[in-house]
Amino acid sequence: MPNSSRGPVVLTILASIGLLYFWADWLAFQQLSLTHHWSGFGLGLAGAAWWLERARKMQRVRRLLVFSLSFFPIWLFLVFALNEMGGGEPWGTLRSYSATGGIFLAFLIGLAWLTWFVERQSRIFQLVRLKKAEGASRVGPLQAMHSSVALPGSGSRVWDPFDMDAWYYGRKRQKLRQSVSVTFGYLVFFLLVVFLLLQLSGCRELYEMPAGGGEQKPNQPVVKVQKVIKKKIIFNPLSKVIAKVPPIEEIKLQLMEITKHAYTVGYGKGAGAGFAGGTNRGKVRFIRLEYSGGDWDQGIDADLNMLVQYNLRTQHKIAERPETRKIIQLKNFPVGKSPPIVYMTGQKNISLGKTETDVLREYLTNKHGMLFADNGGSAHWGNQFKSLMNRVLPNVSYIRVPLDHPIHRIPFPIPFLPYVAPHGGTDALAWVVNGRIVAYYHPGDIGDAWADDHAGVPAQIWEACYQLGTNVIFYGHTEYSKWLEARKKSD
């Protein structure tokens, strides 16, 4: 290595370690902020660009090595950026393709370099042995491709796998056997690494609620009455000066509505609006479930509106954009750090396999999660959802949610159930486990009322729909917070 390259190489190695840390943090630890992540991955990209520019003047092998290694920061940046574009289409699909495609490309790059290296080493061994074997006849290319052209002397046993004369490759078709063995070994190694990364960090996700506290009670505007009596001069009643005494009607009542919340919406004793079981970097996230068989992404643009409205109404910290997850991905969230509530909608079919049903059951019961289902357009979808819940929680029957249930009262008391269209009746249904609603079903496309145009429904209806959405999300988080506290105490 020339002296001029030594500095940048050392720097690049250090930067690579840093980049690996950013990657691990982004996927698993979640200690750094989003700005840090953008900076880290951006620097990685800049480093790659610098090396690629420099590689044009390098030898062929070095140039290829630079190209190969530069692939990794570019790939990481691409997946990260697409992920941050949100779960909506086409970003979600692009993210998924780029992540899978990147793994495949990484596999090919590794395989190419391994083939090159094995071939090179094997050739060196053969040449050394040919030189030693004086008087060896000339070897044709076909013969060299097929098997060893310089066998080791009798009695010596070769162990090196890069040498095609290693004893375990046999004495015929050594080249073929070596290629197959090395490729197979590489494949196993690669799969093992990918599996470990997915299990240990890559697929592990965390959900943290915003820290804080507040009261779990209805938010009712307080009207403070102040009597303002006009100042009047009191004269001597015996005076001859006549003063007009104002009639009682002229006493003005100044009604002042206290517009700001009289209390903080939240649960627990922390400072600011939030939840006792939350963390400082925690946020309320809106996660929509992806499922097969139907149109899970119906009206997905409205999710952001609901998330923003939730923030406006509760002052809780929220994520920058809503997300989507496959049902199977709920498995990746650990107990105590999983989403308190996930949302699903649609109007066609819901077809889930046994594994997905099991994951959903585990999420709702062991992980204390909650499902917010919204019938997006047909009685059929409602029946599908009921049938799904029957499989997920076979011993739990649904109830009609009373209008004075906390989910309909806190923080916003809603005296009726608002809906856009009565797709699945006019009753909100719930599946209750140990006194906690684990699934809330809205029969009439509440999501449409959250859209920019509110589906053209009257303001009273869409406002109530936002309030109901806020209540349901808040209920999910409050119950989760209570459970976290109870767990802490029992520990």
Measure the CA–CA gap between 305 and 83, rounded to whole angstroms: 19
CA dihedral 159, 164, 170, 173 (to 10 degrees): 170
Minimum distance from residue 468 beta carbon to other proteins (Å):
11
Minimum distance from residue 411 beta carbon to other proteins (Å):
16
The two tokens of residue 326 are: 């496959």
Minimum distance from residue 466 beta carbon to other proteins (Å):
13
Minimum distance from residue 241 beta carbon to other proteins (Å):
51
Residue nearer to other proteins on the CB measure, 163 or 445: 445
Query: Do 37 and 59 touch, CB atoms closer than 8 A?
Result: no
CB-CB neighbours of 22 under 10 Å: 20
Minimum distance from residue 324 beta carbon to other proteins (Å):
20
Residue nearer to other proteins on the CB measure, 434 or 490: 434
Residue nearer to other proteins on the CB measure, 47 or 377: 377
Burial class of residue 26 (count of CB atoms within 10 Å of its CB; 0-12, 13-18, 19+): buried
Minimum distance from residue 456 beta carbon to other proteins (Å):
4
The two tokens of residue 422 are: 């009565």
Instruction: Using the CB atoms, write b or e for 286-312: b if 16+ within 10 Å.
Output: bbbbebeebbbbbbbebbbbbbbbbbe
Segment holding 6, helix H or strand E: helix 3-24
Residue nearer to other proteins on the CB measure, 79 or 455: 455
Find where tokens 């066609």 sit.
348
Minimum distance from residue 301 beta carbon to other proteins (Å):
9
Minimum distance from residue 344 beta carbon to other proteins (Å):
17
Considering only CA atoms, which of 373, 368, 335, 367 is closest in space to residue 352? 373
Minimum distance from residue 318 beta carbon to other proteins (Å):
24
The two tokens of residue 65 are: 């090595």
Specify the long-range contacts of residues 402-409, CB closer than 8 Å, at least 24 apart.
Answer: 405/430, 405/437, 406/216, 406/475, 407/437, 407/440, 407/471, 407/472, 407/475, 408/468, 408/471, 409/218, 409/471
Minimum distance from residue 427 beta carbon to other proteins (Å):
7
Residue nearer to other proteins on the CB measure, 285 or 423: 423
Residue nearer to other proteins on the CB measure, 166 or 302: 302
Residue nearer to other proteins on the CB measure, 78 or 437: 437
Residue nearer to other proteins on the CB measure, 208 or 303: 303
Instruction: Using the CB atoms, write b or e for 123-137: b if 16+ within 10 Å.
Output: eebbeebeeeeeeee
Which residues of this chain interact with other proteins, rule CB under 8 A?
298-299, 347, 377-379, 395-400, 402-405, 415-423, 426-427, 430-432, 434-435, 437, 444-445, 448-449, 451, 453, 455-458, 461-462, 464
Kindly give the residue spans of alpha helices, DSSP state H, lying in 56-90.
60-84
Considering only CA atoms, which of 26, 165, 33, 179 is closest in space to residue 111? 179
Residue nearer to other proteins on the CB measure, 47 or 382: 382
The two tokens of residue 442 are: 């809205």
Segment holding 228, helix H or strand E: strand 222-228
Residue nearer to other proteins on the CB measure, 40 or 382: 382
